[in-house]
Structure 1
Amino acid sequence: MVWSASAVWRTAGVCLAMGLGAPSLAQEDLAERRGNEPVVWGPCPESYEGAECATVAMPLDHQHPRGETLPLFVARKLSGVPNAPQLWILDGGPGGSGEGLYLGQAERLAAVLPGVDLYFPAHRGTGNSAGLTCAGEELESPNGSELSPEEWPDCLAEVRARWGHKLAHFNVSQAAMDLGTLIERVRGRNQRVFLYGLSYGTYQAWRYLELFPRQADGVIQDSVVSPGELFVSRTDLEFDPAARGYAALCAQDAGCRARLGADPWARIQAISDRVAQGHCAESGFTRPLLRKSLAGMFMTWRLRVLSLAIPYRLERCAPADVQALRYFLSLYLEPFELYGFSQVLEANIDFSELWESPAPSPATLRQRAGSATFSLDWGVDRADISVQWPKYSSHSATRWPRVKVPLLMMNGTLDPMTSHASALVAARRYRAPNQTFVSFPHVGHSVGFNSPTTLPGAPNCGHLVTASFIQNPHAPPDTSCLAAMSPVPFDDRGAARIYFGAAFTSVWDNPAAP
């Protein structure tokens, strides 16, 4: 069923969820007029090749629609099929703008989902949607393009000077209102609409379902954030359990076991302890740099083998290993393109909605990372600013919506960011007909993009299951691709050449001496 804009505003849940009273008739009339304004599509920035884009004015505060507005950017890649279903893809983070996602995955999605129009909205506060940035993000610091602990206080002062109390409107509820309002303006009559939430995008989708419970025809949740169960403040504790599971797979592979023994996890921990004591210092690795790079490589299906090979090379520490490891660090420490990602929005939402209560102290955050073997050091980098950042109140942060629309939830069993155990909480909660949870064995974060198969064209199994769901959300999704998942790789010639140098043909072995 398609809702009119005025009907959206009359929904009591919108007002209650945002902690405010009912909108006035004048607000309803204005919302109705805005809902009737056509969205004008035109050329896109260079990174959105093959798409058309639009910028739509949204209220800074949806409860005061006649007040200040901000621009909301959206790109779409049309299928060419009349009245095709729409798939709205919600990027992760929080802080993702959808730009990098479009650049890397739009073509692959279009190939798996022919006859589906793809939409990539930029969350308010990211990219071209009033992106929240600080001068420090442009610095070539040891953290690549990330703000360092020393840069965060100046960043906060800069953001406060620009936005003041309005910073509180860069929140999940307002972003969910942006999404529902924009969908209402863009969808055609009787045109089906689906959402695809990725990581933090699943959290935004839960809020959207609370405010717009019947607007979508189905919702796909990839790498599920369970409200009240998963907290970003615990990120530095979550990598080791998943990495330990991956090390157990290494022990079952003859080649990997030959390098790291019958207990690879214990071996990696012992190597990490040796590095902390100065072993192979000529490689450039310290223990903090080691745990952070291991966690970074662990994030993708293909590159996670490097999280095993790097400790192995550190232990051996032959001249060729030192060469390979220094080459790796020269790439790893290079500044990287943010593609519209906003670290400010990430902090603003995380500290207010995805943080434990009572909040962990800076010392606790540092201790969590310091005790880990694999960690992104997220808490270390934000330990001090986490107690200084202005918080906003959210009554929905730990609340689950009532979901009656078809729902597909997917999670990898070795996910270090949204753990399989926490995702299963959602699986137990949503068990109605047409609500399905699919586990992807040995897969890490983002199953849609990290679940390769041996099928022709090597499509990702997560995308195939998604395509099946969109085709018929009222039938069980086709999960037969799980039987065709690619074997977990424990060597990669291409990754070795890229990350260790052109002379290397194995992530483990050194080239023969000339």
Structure 2
Amino acid sequence: GGAGGDGGSGAGGNGGGGGGGDAIAWTPCALVTDGDVKDAECANIPVPLHWDQPEGKAITFFVKRKLAATQPSRGQLWLLNGGPGYSGVDFEPIVPFLAGVDPTLDLYIPDHRGTGRSSRLGCADGETPESEEGSNLTDAEIAACLPAIEAELGDDIKGYSITNAARDVGETIARTRAPDGEVIVLGRSYGTIWGHRYLQLYPDQPTAAALTGLAVNSHLSNLEIWLNDLGQRYMTLCGADPSCSEKLGADPWATMTETLDAFDEGACPEVAALGYDRSLFQQAFARLLLVQWPHWSLMPALIYRLDRCSPADVAAFHHLEGILRAPLPEPPPPSQRLSSPVLRYNITLSELWADPPPSAAEVDAFLAEANIALGQMDDGVAIRERWPRYTPDAYAGQWATTSVPLLLLQGELDFVPSAVPEAVERHFTGPNQTFVMLPRAPHTLESPTRSGTSCDLEILLQFIADPEAPLDTSCTERILALDFSVDPTLSATLLGTEDAWEGDPGAERRAPPAPVAPSPEHARTIVRP
């Protein structure tokens, strides 16, 4: 495993004036990591490991930027990714689109400290292609790696905190912005926590900020419970849908619970013989809820098939099992290779865990009953006791006080419970601070409308163009209804038949379909909250 580099040192353009500090050396690099066309600029910026000890040890803060087509530009748009543990690489595909719709902004994509090319925290033994799950780092491998992590980093690991990551952004903005240039900061998912911490530290620096998929002041240790609750909400909507309720009855969540309980007790042994158990179903369903919308409707279809347990159903589960257990690609794609599970644990266990944390007994009781669970909460409970956690500072659990324009976007079917965005909405009530709930949208905010646009992007692009202009949010009334049919191509890939609910894979043997979206197994490495 380990991080591949793109960029490097050397002379490049200057940092465009700003608040002092040495000029940053920008060098030509590929916008798309591992690409050949040097159509962007990269910098490896030395920053203090601890910002409150500026003369102490330094680490690298990697930033990639795509300069505006129109120069001098109107300003900067910073894109803060989620996780915690993801690098900036996941934003690369959207940059050409953003640059096309708004050619006046320089786009900045940082790697959060401890990820990607920003002094990534890794585990050499667990990230070799020969190890369990190859370059992908399992929770068991992280636990085994802890002594090596502590030996290599010692107390330095305590510098990889949310506050220091927010200082990386604020201090680099101060060094690179033009004297009258705008600065808009966009954070998504965990990036809303990172972006909000930035607003606590630099309430007057940006022109505006957008936080989408809100997780501010929430406890990610509750993710398992959140996903199970979201599944219940989704299956309730299935019960209100004529086609879905025809298959699963008026209370599909009860049907799901009864089906999994019966399977636990020996029903449908043909599927159990393939290696399925309750925890594999829990994890498969959890991953479906973390990836994009079209996958969700697989969940009611799989429950329907497990309950019926016909030979065609067993054949569909056999096809899916091959995908669930397929080895991850080697070498791993950049989004996986540059992410850091070690950084994720460091921040989550230090600062985003419930206090007091759930006990092992509570976790076991939940997992015995749950229909949906990633199966990581018990790992977190076990590892937390041994992890060299840092002590959260005075900013943790507090609110930013800022008067800059804010766009706060949330999906109604986000796994983060509604109390979290509601608290954000109650706190930020200033002029041009707008909260928008997108009906039926998931954590990724996919919100296709009848006119073929995506409502979240419609609203976001308005805000970026002019953060002080009134927002037209009427697209929220045009978001498509939920569709419980499963895309035929997706179904063919995952179940071996184009009809996810009724098809027989054995009767449809033909040329293997072209690969589409990643399997739920691979999705785990792509999508974490």
TM-score interval, smaller chain: 0.7 to 0.9
Paired residue for 1:509? 502
Same amino acid, percent of matched pairs: 34
* Deviations, residues 98-138 of structure 1 (Å, cap 9, x unaligned): 213324x3344445545433221100000111111113244
Which region of structure 1 is more displaced relative to structure 2, 390-399 or 312-321?
A: 312-321
Query: CA separation in 2, counterparts of 1:132 and 1:312?
Result: 43
Matched, 1:70 2:59: yes
Which region of structure 1 is more displaced relative to structure 2, 83-92 or 198-207?
A: 83-92
What is the one-letter code of the residue matched to 1:415? D
Query: CA separation in 1, counterparts of 2:363 and 2:417?
Result: 19
Paired residue for 1:40? 26
Counterpart of 1:351 (choices 336, 349, 352) is 349
Change (3 A) 1:39 1:180: farther
Change (3 A) 1:111 1:248: farther
Change (3 A) 1:345 1:485: same
Matched position secondary structure for 1:284: coil
* Deviations, residues 413-465 of structure 1 (Å, cap 9, x unaligned): 1111x222321111011112111111111111121xx222232xx33211111
Paired residue for 1:203? 193
Which region of structure 1 is more displaced relative to structure 2, 334-343 or 57-66?
A: 334-343
> What's the offset of the Cα at 1:241?
2.0
> What's the offset of the Cα at 1:146?
5.3
> What's the offset of the Cα at 1:142?
7.5
Query: CA separation in 2, counterparts of 1:243 and 1:284?
Result: 23
> What's the offset of the Cα at 1:292?
0.8
Counterpart of 2:153 (choices 158, 163, 166) is 163
Change (3 A) 1:133 1:193: same
The answer to whether the 8 A contact 2:183-2:206 is kept is yes
> What's the offset of the Cα at 1:410?
0.9
Paired residue for 2:263? 275
Query: CA separation in 1, counterparts of 2:363 and 2:80?
Result: 29
> What's the offset of the Cα at 1:178?
0.3
The answer to whether the 8 A contact 2:126-2:132 is kept is no
What is the one-letter code of the residue matched to 2:160? F
Counterpart of 1:263 (choices 237, 251, 262) is 251
Paired residue for 2:379? 381
Query: CA separation in 1, counterparts of 2:467 and 2:148?
Result: 46
Mapping 1:384-395, distance limit 5 Å: 384-394=382-392, 395=394
Matched, 1:151 2:136: no
What is the one-letter code of the residue matched to 1:505? E
The answer to whether the 8 A contact 1:282-1:322 is kept is no
Query: CA separation in 1, counterparts of 2:252 and 2:77?
Result: 42
> What's the offset of the Cα at 1:195?
1.0
> What's the offset of the Cα at 1:144?
8.0
* Deviations, residues 383-439 of structure 1 (Å, cap 9, x unaligned): 3111111111112211111121111111111111x2223211110111121111111
Change (3 A) 1:144 1:260: farther
Matched, 1:498 2:493: yes
Paired residue for 1:4? none
Query: CA separation in 1, counterparts of 2:388 and 2:252?
Result: 43
Matched position secondary structure for 2:398: coil
What is the one-letter code of the residue matched to 1:463? L
Query: CA separation in 2, counterparts of 1:112 and 1:323?
Result: 47
Change (3 A) 1:106 1:274: farther
The answer to whether the 8 A contact 1:48-1:99 is kept is no
> What's the offset of the Cα at 1:141?
7.4
Paired residue for 1:454? 450
What is the one-letter code of the residue matched to 1:508? W
* Deviations, residues 33-62 of structure 1 (Å, cap 9, x unaligned): 972413413213315965332221111121
Query: CA separation in 2, counterparts of 1:483 and 1:195?
Result: 27
Counterpart of 2:481 (choices 463, 468, 487) is 487
Query: CA separation in 2, counterparts of 1:140 and 1:36?
Result: 43
Change (3 A) 1:110 1:241: farther
Paired residue for 2:286? 295
Query: CA separation in 2, counterparts of 1:238 and 1:63?
Result: 36
Query: CA separation in 1, counterparts of 2:433 and 2:36?
Result: 33
Change (3 A) 1:113 1:262: farther
Paired residue for 1:59? 48
Paired residue for 2:410? 411
* Deviations, residues 289-334 of structure 1 (Å, cap 9, x unaligned): 1011101112221111112212122222223322222222322333
> What's the offset of the Cα at 1:253?
2.1
Matched, 1:444 2:436: no
Which region of structure 1 is more displaced relative to structure 2, 114-123 or 420-429?
A: 114-123
What is the one-letter code of the residue matched to 1:94? P
The answer to whether the 8 A contact 2:75-2:177 is kept is no
> What's the offset of the Cα at 1:139?
5.8
Mapping 1:92-491, distance limit 5 Å: 92-103=82-93, 105-134=94-123, 135-138=125-128, 147-227=137-217, 230-278=218-266, 279=268, 280-299=271-290, 300-334=292-326, 335=328, 337=332, 338-394=336-392, 395-416=394-415, 418-447=416-445, 450-455=446-451, 458-491=452-485
Matched position secondary structure for 2:43: strand
* Deviations, residues 350-385 of structure 1 (Å, cap 9, x unaligned): 111111112222333333333321111220232311
Matched position secondary structure for 1:401: coil
What is the one-letter code of the residue matched to 1:268? M
What is the one-letter code of the residue matched to 1:244? Q
Query: CA separation in 1, counterparts of 2:494 and 2:75?
Result: 40
Change (3 A) 1:62 1:289: same
Matched position secondary structure for 1:383: helix
Change (3 A) 1:144 1:414: farther
Query: CA separation in 2, counterparts of 1:92 and 1:507?
Result: 32
